[in-house]
Amino acid sequence: MKKYLTGFVFSVILTLLAFWVVWVHVASNHAYLPHTFMLWAVVAFALVQLVVQLYFFLDIRPSRDSHTMVPFLLALFIIVVVVGGSLWIMQNLSHSQTTPFRGTPSPQNDLY
């Protein structure tokens, strides 16, 4: 019973922190907090909350039996390869394109 309440409290705090960072940014009309900082802060809060919920809600801990941990680590590996690999490849492709890969088609982009 206690583990669910602990996990819940930690998750609420981490959620509020992530929202607060973005709220400060939006409320100041993007003046406060550079984009790189926001990116890493939101990703960091999400990763910590991920670990918190895996630990307190799903009981995933290193001491679990291999039946649980081996498929879990395999799935984690596949996820990292799929998501990380896609971003890496597409980022490289966008560098070798003459027009920027990101962004909407706009008159400025035609200059490059």
Partner 1 sequence: MSTHQHNHSLFGLWLYILSDCVLFAGLFATFAVLRGQTFGNLSGSDLLHLSTLLVQTLVLLTSSMIIGLTTQAKSRGVILFGLAATFILGLVFIGFEIQEFAGLVAAGAGPGHSAFLSSFFVLVGTHGLHVAVGMLWMLILGVQVWLHGTTHAFSRRLTMLALFWHFLDIVWIAIFSIVYLLSTTL
The two structure tokens encoding residue 60:
């995933």
Q: Which residues of this protein are in contact with partner 1, per CB under 8 A? A: 1, 4-5, 7-8, 11-12, 15, 18-19, 22-23, 25-26, 30, 35, 38-39, 42-43, 45-46, 49-50, 53-54, 57-58, 67-68, 71-72, 74-75, 78-79, 82-83, 85-87, 90, 101-106
Let me know: does 14 contact 49? Beta carbons within 8 Å.
yes
CB of 38 to partner 1, least distance (A): 5
For residue 4, give every residue at least 6 positions away whose Cβ sits within 8 Å of its Cβ, in sequence order, or none.
56, 57
